[in-house]
Amino acid sequence: METDELMQRAGKLAGWAARTGYSLGKRLPGADGAERSLRNLEQKALTELHKRMEGASNRRLLELTELPSSPSGEGAAGGHGENGSGSKSSSTAVAVPLPTDPLRAGMAALLNRSTHLSREAARDYLYASILRQLTPDEARILSVLSDGADYPVVQISERKTGRVVLRNASTIGKTAGVSATTHVPVYVSRLVAFGLAEIDDEQTELATQYEILMTDETVRKAEDLVKRPRITRGALRITPLGVNFWLACAP
């Protein structure tokens, strides 16, 4: 291939320069011309290498935006512009040209794909995106929340300034048997951010569980961080999105 030969020639010339002590001192007749030729050849080789790397980066990003196949075998290509009932989608597919920039190319690919996704395929795309971001411990917590029960959660802040020192501590971690119990507040916060769980007001029927939660080491350490801590109680539960997500993904 011509570009491969070009890169090989650049490498040979560079090796020759190193072995013979070739310098930019222009001490020999014609040294200027040889130097320019070497630089031109090296520049062409580097330009070609850059193009190859950029092309590989673009292809990788487009692969990452591919819709994973759903259990029903439906995907971006499987929809063929049809809705769940098999009828043609009313959306008009307008192809967006793929730019050379990887990020812009990724967005263009998503826009192109959106023109022919069915409702079920779009839902699976969302669920797959969420699923890829969950940690194993978060999956265990979600499996416990899927029974529909409420679990205690507390926030600890500084009474005078309102500064929060601990957010979303809960007994759900121990109930679910997570591995990193100290990260339960982070897990709960992420599940809430994904829309899979929500925090409601304090539930009186959880009084005993609130007392148990206040003895947790993470909670006690947070209380020691401020002089006058404010304890805000709440109830953690699964959301409708979380229910549908679990029904679609549960093993």
Torsion sign over Cα 48, 54, 60, 66: negative
Q: State the virtual CA torsion across 95, 100, 103, 104 in degrees, nearest 10.
A: -40
- Three-state DSSP at 208 gives helix
Contacts of 210 (CB under 8 A, 6+ apart): 152, 154, 202, 233
pLDDT in tens, the chain (251 residues): 444 554 455 455 445 444 444 444 444 445 555 556 556 655 665 566 556 555 655 555 555 445 444 444 444 334 444 444 444 444 455 566 667 788 998 898 889 888 888 999 999 999 999 999 999 999 999 999 999 999 999 999 999 889 999 999 999 999 999 999 999 999 999 999 999 999 999 999 999 999 999 999 999 999 999 889 999 999 999 999 999 999 999 99
How crowded is residue 197: how many other Cβ atoms within 10 Å of its Cβ? 27
- pTM as predicted: 0.61
In this structure, are residues 219 and 213 in contact, taking their beta carbons and an 8 Å threshold?
A: yes
Nearest one of 129, 146, 137 to 70, comparing CA atoms: 129
State how far the Cα of 50 lies from the Cα of 4, in Å rounded to an integer: 13
Contacts of 101 (CB under 8 A, 6+ apart): none
